[in-house]
Structure 1
Amino acid sequence: MTKSRFLRACLCSAMPLAIAASGMALSTAASAAAPAQTPASGTRVTDQQAPALDFVRVFASPSLNGPSPREVKISPDGRYLTLLRNRDADRERYDLWGYDRESGKWSMLVDSEKLGTGRELSEAEKMQRERQRIGDLKGIVHYAWNEDSRSLLVPVDGDLFLAGLDGSVTRLTDDAGDELNPVLSPGGTYLSYVRDGRLMVGKVGAEQVAVTPEESAETVHWGEAEFVAQEEMFRLTGYWWAPNEKRIAVERYDEAPVGVVTRAAIGADGTRTFAQRYPAAGTDNALVSLYVMKPDGTGRVQVDLGSDPDIYLARVDWSGDGKTLYVQRQNREQTRLDMLAVDPQTGKSSVLFTETAADGAWINLSDSYRFLDDGSLVWWSERDGYGHLYRLADGKWTQLTKGEWVVTGLVGIDAKRGRIYFTGTKDDVLAQQVYAVDLENPGTPERLTETGWANSAVASKDASTLVISRSSSDQPTQSFIADGTGKRLEWVEQNALDADHPYAPYLASHREPSFGTVKAEDGSDLHWMMITPELEPGKTYPVFFEHYGGPHVQTVSKGWLGALPQAIVDKGYIYFRLDNRGSANRGVAFEKQIHQAMGTVEVADQRAGAQYLKSLPFVDGDKIATYGWSYGGFMTLKMLEADQGLYAAGISGAPVTKWELYDTHYTERYMGDPRKVPEAYAASGALGNAEAIADPMLLIHGMADDNVVFENSTALAAKLQNGERAFEMMFYPGHTHSVKGPKISVHVWNTIFNFLERHGVTPDEGSGK
């Protein structure tokens, strides 16, 4: 259940209703929070008339959010800014664009349609894209700068190209084979990728050859990340170049111990079956090992990962001089993480330090760390109960940030100036800001961005230049180049809501959200967000109550939410979200309450939200519909089971119904091993009490889902049918966990609201547009 980059950590990344998250394409936004318990009246942006926003327009091109750049990067020399920009006529197709800061000019560096062949991707690459939740995108989905700052590696439709800033494009590969995880070596000398389970390496312009052994078993893979690493650990690669190009660290995994699940991908024109190795909770994982070798495959030595084979290879990094390999080793229980220092010549390792989880909690993996050239380490940890930055130097730890708030991401480190840049929630948990703190003399962090906006950022290699992304409740995402003080130097994408913006016709009916809190049973503040239609005296309105509920996710944000919630409000509904205990960015004590108890405190907290809604004079308390996807789909079922009659109807999309069907790394992190705590799994599952669901319920699932496998929904359907319980179903042939697309998304959302109409969960006449 991963994230995207922040979304790759959770199931909600596949939801038809996008949850705002940190990042360049979907950044959170800020507006002044309403006082707790304040009715959400909303405001109009203008007094002009506007057409009602329907689902066809929401999912059509051009995107109503305006341009949505992806993969914003700064060249190693800091001169160029590059990004993937989607097309007005095809919002899912991306091309590579570059901005020369000296000339102030943009240019398209690679036109994906001119290079692309349109040929079908291999199954392996499709699955990698599914792990990243980008399976619906077309054209260029990734690229990488060459260290010389003059060219970029660009994969297009299964082949590799080297694009020059002068407009030249050189084809590097031209065949039907896989080219997974393509990389230019740090000095630009070598091209490497994975094909048929082997690592291929060769000088740029020459032939790439296999440098890892040919294995007799098809279950053995070199240079790839195993399933749980890709899906749950934010690790998408299985090999790492040393900065001096002298060696490569390469993962080898054997998935022979992993159980085989026969997955049926049911499509419109037939059914394909896949014998998929799927490590379900409580079963064996792949056997993972790590080797170091020279670029030609010689001098191979195995890294000592310890005596316990049942561990997770979490992260691998090289020191700046290439003399030390650092490996993060996580135990199966995910309560301990060891940082190993490895001699790459011998493979011998020693424990540099250890992170231990708090009682009843777990270790959250992070990419917010950097090894510095002076041998010190800047490290993110939750050791004081909140996610903060620390420095390890000469064997001593120094805490760099502290307080009852969290660092959400390490942006970069300017070693020359001794300045660390990061994002965090110090000023507002609902709107993260960009901050800086002194490396040697940390004090109160300096906020670099404006309140009233929520921000995220990427940095140049030396962190002297930032690209800041921001948005607010009435402004879709903007991005700009800034210096180390946060001062805007140049716009990357102003995305002004002027007359030419795609959203301009709907501005007159745009409704801004209001915010507040309700109390949980333990006294915690639970943040909610609400958008209402223009309220008329004496009228009451139905509620579309969207939830997620799972860990690593925050759904309530002061950010630009996109057009979909506005379309729901245009139909005459109140749109509502609430973040329950167990959700992200509130500290360890808040998050760990779901430990071995999924579907308990989350349900109670969403109940508190529904009861608050019922107390509002403008809410029709008999017409609260609850909706969720993935973990949110699981939550819909648990909420309907626990509180019959509280919700008028429930929509459950791609739900986990039995946690033993989900994978090891995610499920055991929160629930433990089902072989040791079967009672916890029995209580948390949605099947045992499914027959208690008496309210109208719609079940939706993609019939080729390889993440939350389709069996979850068929098991639920069988249980309800055998219990003579009425419910409705909508299953999508050929679709995986992401049931979306310009046409399919319209069908999904029309299905949901047609369902609500059949059951009378509709606005009173005259309360909508």
Structure 2
Amino acid sequence: MNRIRMFSVLMAIPLTFAATLANAQSLEGGSTPLTVERLYDSPALAGSSPRELKISPDGSRATFLVGRKDNQHFYDLWQMDVTSGKVSLLLDADKLAQGELSDEEKARRERQRIFGEGIMEYAWSDDGKALLIPAAGKLYYYALADGKAKLLPTGDDFITDAKLSPKGHFVSYVQGQNLWVLDLATDKVTQLTHDGGGAIKNAMAEFVAQEEMGKMSGYWWAPDESAIAFNRVDETPVELVTRNEIYADGIKLTQQRYPYAGKPNVLIQLGVISLQSKQVKWIDLGKETDIYQPRAKWLPDSKHLSFQWQSRNQQNLDLRVVNVSDNSAPVTLVHEHDDIWLNLNDDLNFLKNGYFIWTSERDGFSHIYLFDSKGKVKQQLTQGAWAVDSIDHVDEAAQWIYFTGRKDSDVEKHLYKVKFDGSGFTKLSSAAGMHSAVFADNKAIYLDYFDSLAQPPQISLHDASGKRLAWVEENAVKQGHPLYPYAGLWQLPAFGTIKADDGQTMHYRLFKPVNFDASKKYPVLVRVYGGPHAQLVTNSWSSQDYFTQYLLQQGFAVFQLDNRGSGHRGTKFEQVIYKQLGVAEVEDQKKGVDFLRTLPWVDSQRIAVYGHSYGGYMALMCLFKAPDYFKAAVSGAPVTDWTLYDTHYTERYLSHPATNAEGYRLSSVMPYVKNYQSGLLMYHGMADDNVLFENSTRVYKALQDDGKLFEVMTYPGSKHSMRGNQVKTHLYKTITDFLERKLQ
């Protein structure tokens, strides 16, 4: 069959962006070639790219963290006066303590994917007159009136997860696996829990909650400051693993309670402690103890606490509410069920009249629903074959809901608003690309964090109608911008679609090499992730694309396809992978290669695949299961046997090993190692506590036992994210050398 007829290669992006790509294959600027050393050196190629955007409670100023020009990973706190538009330094991080982080904080930052020094977090007081800033395990209270950062008396032990109370009278934090509160008026410190230590953790989220549920905290203040809800986590049932973290100067034996798929999880409790009596009321979570409790949120009256209850198989999710002022049992407001799995979200908003707003995928796509106080659906506010990303702001007075979603394009994210009654649906963002919004609490303004393939992140201030009021950081790529000397060689991709075997549409993007000559044959690198929730094929700026740009200048083409199972496409698209991983995903990537083979300028004998984490797993599965499609593979930090990965993630997609043993076996890389022929590079951080190093060593041993030759690069001290300029520089040099030897 003629391969060209097998594909529907259609543009699936807004016409404005399509026109841009048609008219320019690169950005305007100089033609200095990139070097690997320059990719992640300072100043950052993206220019000034602030993070941790906030608007003060009174709406008078926008604040954000900015990396320094001489060290993009060292952050200071900056501000913009909303009225004048003036941008200035608010707090120099050198005025705060700097030093080694505790192991707990290092692990927490790894889960948050936060990397850097200086000021990494901060919080506004409710009155907008002060900021709370943690630094090196200490806490600082910065009063705007006197411009001084006061060190709070929290003792010598390292603190983590610090918060200002809702009305700004207290500071809470976790220290020694217990919850503490400091009264800002008196500097009096009170320890609220006392049994933390060892396997007991108070006010802390367990490992899988941080890594897989996006739950980074284990406690929540009541709006009136009368009480704090908190989790008590007992890790005793979880298998205690002794593993080696290998560093350049020695080996650290680390004991970690790692909940392998199919093995016991933590025992979790939810309590409410009164600040006045110091007494704890334990919430009844039900008779079943093998559960997850992924979210908690107070209602506006401070008398009712909501919490989410999730079954271990993740097919049932309850939103429950309990009156903490009496002994009544929790009431289930919403029960969600799916025969495959349910995704979590943070889109719960309680209104003063008792109604609440909640997103659900019950119709196959994430959409917004309005419920009454009894949990009955009053109205579905958004609908269609597209997904809502997140609810960003609820203006109860004006009855507007502001949210980001994919209504206009699967490969872009835009800001919209809709009324509580479903009317007035309006698109607020205009520029083609990815938009995220941060709203003021008490003023009709927001910050728009925008980026695209052609525009590094920029931040602007807007009114509630979407009108831009001012630039916070325009970040235009012009003379003087760090990217400008290289921008003339910066390539923009072509977008298109391919049909999967079941008829569903998959998006791809294809980058041609610099100085492309249609009469030549080029090698292609397929960059893949392929796992749930992620999406590579977007009109977005990403530092991960810097290496892509470098490869384009070395004569490679780069192709990316979001196979079935990836995110933001609805449950039908995502749930294809249920109970057996690496089947639909590999077939879809083969479809992508079939498409590449129809292009006259692609050398079909020189196609390689590269991915990290789930992408590393995919690289191995593609090479082992489809060696006639891929000449070589680079696999970074791969999961190779899903019994080695954690409960919440793995069982969501593969179910429990006891009920799906064959699915686990066939989803592992190990049965396919025998198919390996040649052309493999594997790398792994030797202190990875997420995808354990054993995942790679099992493949090493299997290939060695078969007498197969392959290449390995290990990184002492590196965690899963492979942080640091030196590590990245060496890694990408290693990958480039490998690809040039295997494909050129």
With the shorter chain as reference, the TM-score category is over 0.9
1:298 aligns with one of 278, 281, 292: 278
Aligned-partner SS, 1:626: strand
| Offset, 1:645 | 2.5
Is it true that 1:364 corresponds to 2:346 in the alignment? no
Alignment partners' CA distance in 1, 2:690 and 2:273: 34
1:572 aligns with one of 555, 571, 576: 555
Alignment partners' CA distance in 2, 1:608 and 1:53: 32
Is it true that 1:732 corresponds to 2:711 in the alignment? no
| Offset, 1:133 | 1.5
Aligned runs of 1:663-678 on 2, under 5 Å? 663-678=646-661
Aligned-partner SS, 1:670: helix
Alignment partners' CA distance in 2, 1:164 and 1:623: 61
1:143 aligns with one of 108, 122, 125: 122
| Offset, 1:250 | 1.5
Alignment partners' CA distance in 2, 1:491 and 1:654: 40
Which deviations, in whole Å up to 9, do the C-alpha atoms of 1:95-145 show, x marking residues without a partner? 11122213432232221123133x2111111111111122x3111111111
Match of 2:356 in 1: 377
CA 463–635 in structure 1, closer or farther in 2 if over 3 Å, else same: farther
Match of 1:683 in 2: 666
Equivalent AA in structure 2 for residue 55 of structure 1: V
Is it true that 1:484 corresponds to 2:467 in the alignment? no
Equivalent AA in structure 2 for residue 143 of structure 1: Y
Aligned-partner SS, 1:120: coil
Aligned-partner SS, 2:611: strand
Aligned-partner SS, 1:496: coil
Alignment partners' CA distance in 2, 1:193 and 1:382: 35
2:593 aligns with one of 610, 619, 622: 610
Which deviations, in whole Å up to 9, do the C-alpha atoms of 1:681-734 show, x marking residues without a partner? 001011122121113000000000000000101111111111111110000011
| Offset, 1:91 | 0.7
Aligned-partner SS, 1:130: helix
Is it true that 1:154 corresponds to 2:133 in the alignment? yes
Match of 1:108 in 2: 89
Count of aligned pairs: 724
Alignment partners' CA distance in 1, 2:424 and 2:342: 27
Match of 1:43 in 2: 25
2:107 aligns with one of 99, 108, 127: 127
| Offset, 1:209 | 2.6
Match of 1:352 in 2: 332
Alignment partners' CA distance in 1, 2:713 and 2:276: 52
Alignment partners' CA distance in 2, 1:261 and 1:190: 38
| Offset, 1:368 | 1.7
Match of 1:458 in 2: 438
| Offset, 1:32 | 4.7
| Offset, 1:463 | 6.4
CA 196–49 in structure 1, closer or farther in 2 if over 3 Å, else same: closer
| Offset, 1:387 | 0.3
CA 556–347 in structure 1, closer or farther in 2 if over 3 Å, else same: farther
Is it true that 1:505 corresponds to 2:480 in the alignment? no
Equivalent AA in structure 2 for residue 717 of structure 1: Y
Are 1:454 and 1:472, in contact at CA under 8 Å, matched by a contact in 2? yes
Are 1:41 and 1:514, in contact at CA under 8 Å, matched by a contact in 2? no
Are 1:199 and 1:210, in contact at CA under 8 Å, matched by a contact in 2? yes
Equivalent AA in structure 2 for residue 181 of structure 1: D
| Offset, 1:297 | 5.9
TM-score by length of 1: 0.92
Match of 2:287 in 1: 307
Are 2:58 and 2:443, in contact at CA under 8 Å, matched by a contact in 1? no
1:341 aligns with one of 317, 321, 333: 321
Alignment partners' CA distance in 1, 2:61 and 2:23: 45
Equivalent AA in structure 2 for residue 90 of structure 1: N
Match of 1:21 in 2: none
| Offset, 1:212 | 0.9
Structure 1 unmatched runs, 5+: 1-28, 763-769
Please say which of residues 163-172 and 730-739 is displaced more in the overlay: 163-172
Alignment partners' CA distance in 2, 1:743 and 1:286: 37
Are 1:415 and 1:462, in contact at CA under 8 Å, matched by a contact in 2? no
Aligned-partner SS, 2:671: coil
1:218 aligns with one of 198, 201, 204: 198
Alignment partners' CA distance in 2, 1:70 and 1:172: 25
CA 91–211 in structure 1, closer or farther in 2 if over 3 Å, else same: same
Please say which of residues 289-298 and 745-754 is displaced more in the overlay: 289-298
4+ residue runs over 4 A deviation: 29-35, 39-42
Match of 1:468 in 2: 448
Aligned runs of 1:15-94 on 2, under 5 Å? 32=16, 43-46=25-28, 50-94=31-75
Structure 2 unmatched runs, 5+: 1-12
Aligned runs of 1:266-277 on 2, under 5 Å? 266-277=246-257
Alignment partners' CA distance in 1, 2:286 and 2:236: 21
TM-score by length of 2: 0.95
Please say which of residues 575-584 and 450-459 is displaced more in the overlay: 450-459
Task: Kindly indicate whether structure 1 or structure 2 has the higher relative contact order, using CA contacts under 8 Å at least 6 residues apart.
Answer: 1
Are 1:338 and 1:351, in contact at CA under 8 Å, matched by a contact in 2? no
Which deviations, in whole Å up to 9, do the C-alpha atoms of 1:413-453 show, x marking residues without a partner? 1111111100111111111110010113x136210111523
Are 1:703 and 1:736, in contact at CA under 8 Å, matched by a contact in 2? yes
Which deviations, in whole Å up to 9, do the C-alpha atoms of 1:502-543 show, x marking residues without a partner? 001012212111100111111111100111123214111111
Identity across matched positions, percent: 41
Aligned-partner SS, 2:231: strand
Is it true that 1:409 corresponds to 2:418 in the alignment? no
